[in-house]
Amino acid sequence: MPEPTAAKADKPKRAIEVLRERHGGMSKELKDYFNEQQKIYKALRAALKNGPRTVPQLAKECGLPSPTVMWHLMALRRYGQVLDGPEENGYLRYTLPGA
Amino acid sequence: MAEMRDRYDALVIGGGIAGMQAALDLGEQGFEVLLVERTPSIGGVMVGLNKVFPTLDCSSCICTPRMAESAHHPRIRLQTYTEVRSVEPVGTGFSVNLECKPRYLHEDTCIGCDECELACPIEVPHEFDYGLGARRAIYIPHGNAIPQKAVLDLEHCVFCGKCEKVCPTHCIDFTAEAKHARVDVGAVIVATGLDILPMDRKPEYGGTLPNVMSPLAMERIQSSNGPYGRVLRPADGKIPRSIAYIQCAGSRDRSIGVPYCSRVCCMYALKQALLLRHYIHDVDVALYYMDIRAFGKGYEQFYRRAVAEGVNVIKGKVARVTQTDNFDLILRVELLDEGGRVDEHRYDLVVLSQGLIAAWHPDGVIDIEDADDGFIHTPEIKLNPSFTTMPGVFVAGVAAGPKDIPDAIVEAGEAAMAAANYLKRYRWRSSKPAVAVA
User: Distance (Å) from the C-alpha of residue B205 to the closest C-alpha of chain A?
Assistant: 19
Residue B2 lies in a domain: no
Whether residue B188 is found in the same domain as residue B44 = yes
Q: How far apart are CA A27 and CA B66, in angstroms?
A: 40
Q: What is the DSSP letter of B203?
A: G
Whether residue B244 is found in the same domain as residue B335 = yes
Q: Could you say which of 1.10.10.10, 3.40.50.300, 1.20.1080.10, 3.90.230.10 is the CATH number of the domain covering A51-99?
A: 1.10.10.10
Whether the per-residue pLDDT at B216 is higher than 60: the answer is yes
**Closest-CA residue of chain B to A58:** B236
Let me know the angle formed at the C-alpha of B56 by B48 and B220, rounded to the nearest 5 degrees.
Answer: 25
Instruction: Residue window 128-147, chain B: list those with CB within 8 Å of chain A.
Output: 132-134
pLDDT category, B437, cuts 50, 70, 90? Answer: very low
Instruction: Residue window 188-217, chain B: list those with CB within 8 Å of chain A.
Output: 210
How confident is the model over A19-41, as pLDDT tens digits?
888 888 899 999 999 999 999 99
- Mean pLDDT of the B398-411 span: 97
* A contact test, residue of B117, B138, B159 with most A CBs within 10 A: B159
User: Distance (Å) from the C-alpha of residue B243 to the closest C-alpha of chain A?
Assistant: 15
Instruction: Determine contact, residues B220/B133, Cβ cutoff 8 Å.
Output: yes
How confident is the model over B343-365, as pLDDT tens digits?
999 999 999 999 999 999 999 99
* A contact test, residue of B236, B283, B329 with most A CBs within 10 A: B236
Instruction: Determine contact, residues B80/B37, Cβ cutoff 8 Å.
Output: yes
Whether the per-residue pLDDT at A9 is higher than 90: the answer is no
Q: Does A20 contact chain B (CB < 8 Å)?
A: yes
Whether residue B188 is found in the same domain as residue B205 = no
Q: How many residues does chain B have?
A: 438
Q: Does B174 contact chain A (CB < 8 Å)?
A: yes
Whether residue B288 is found in the same domain as residue B158 = no
Q: How far apart are CA B247 and CA B251, in angstroms?
A: 8
How confident is the model over B37-84, as pLDDT tens digits?
999 999 999 999 999 999 999 999 999 999 999 999 999 999 999 999
How confident is the model over B302-337, as pLDDT tens digits?
999 999 999 999 999 999 999 999 999 999 999 999
From B355, B378, B413, the end of a domain falls on: B355
pLDDT category, B2, cuts 50, 70, 90? Answer: low
B159/A26 touch (CB, cutoff 8 Å), yes or no: yes
Number of domains in chain B: 3
- Output the pLDDT for position A98: 87
Q: Which residues contact B199 (CB under 8 A, 6 or more apart)?
A: B207, B208, B212, B214, B352, B354
Residue A66: list chain B partners with CB under 8 A. Answer: 235-237, 327
B175/A18 touch (CB, cutoff 8 Å), yes or no: yes
B97: nearest Cα among B83, B111, B116, B79: B83
Which secondary-structure segment (H or E) carries B322?
Answer: strand B312-323
Q: Are strands B194-196 and B356-358 parallel, antiparallel or unpaired?
A: antiparallel
**Closest-CA residue of chain A to B123:** A75
Residue B125: list chain A partners with CB under 8 A. Answer: 71
Residue B21 lies in a domain: yes
| Global pTM value | 0.94
What percentage of chain A carries pLDDT values higher than 70?
Answer: 89
- Mean pLDDT of the B218-238 span: 97
HSE-CB for A82 with a 13 A CA cutoff: 31
- Output the pLDDT for position B434: 40
B236/A91 touch (CB, cutoff 8 Å), yes or no: yes
From B325, B355, B385, the end of a domain falls on: B355
**Closest-CA residue of chain B to A26:** B158
How confident is the model over B232-267, as pLDDT tens digits?
999 999 999 999 999 999 889 988 889 999 999 999
B323: nearest Cα among B428, B262, B235, B252: B235
* B contact test, residue of A57, A66, A91 with most B CBs within 10 A: A66
Whether the per-residue pLDDT at B120 is higher than 60: the answer is yes
**Among A30, A78, A92, beta carbon nearest to B237:** A92
Residue B159: list chain A partners with CB under 8 A. Answer: 16, 19-20, 25-26
B327/A66 touch (CB, cutoff 8 Å), yes or no: yes
A91/B238 touch (CB, cutoff 8 Å), yes or no: yes
Q: What is the ipTM of this complex?
A: 0.93
Q: How many CB pairs under 8 A join A and B?
A: 90
Q: Which residues contact B270 (CB under 8 A, 6 or more apart)?
A: B53, B287, B292, B294, B302, B303, B306, B311
Range of the domain at B135: 115-166
Query: Domain residue spans in chain A?
Result: 51-99
Whether residue B243 is found in the same domain as residue B385 = no
Q: In 10 A of CB A26, how many CB atoms? A: 18
- Mean pLDDT of the B194-219 span: 96
Q: Which residues of B159-187 are buried (b: 16+ CB within 10 A; e: fewer)?
A: bbbbbbeebeeebbbbebeeeebebbbbb
Whether residue B230 is found in the same domain as residue B343 = yes
- Output the pLDDT for position A23: 86
* B contact test, residue of A13, A71, A87 with most B CBs within 10 A: A71
Residue B106 lies in a domain: no
- Output the pLDDT for position B436: 42
Residue B416 lies in a domain: yes
- Which phi and psi angles does B231 have, rounded to 5°? -85, 115
Whether the per-residue pLDDT at B408 is higher than 70: the answer is yes
> Mean pLDDT in chain A?
90
- Output the pLDDT for position B435: 41
> Mean pLDDT in chain B?
95
Q: How far apart are CA B14 and CA B23, in angstroms?
A: 10
Residue B380 lies in a domain: yes
A74/B133 touch (CB, cutoff 8 Å), yes or no: yes
Q: Does A24 contact chain B (CB < 8 Å)?
A: no
Residue B39 lies in a domain: yes
A90/B241 touch (CB, cutoff 8 Å), yes or no: yes
Q: How far apart are CA A71 and CA A61, in angstroms?
A: 16
Instruction: Determine contact, residues A53/A73, Cβ cutoff 8 Å.
Output: no
Residue B109 lies in a domain: no
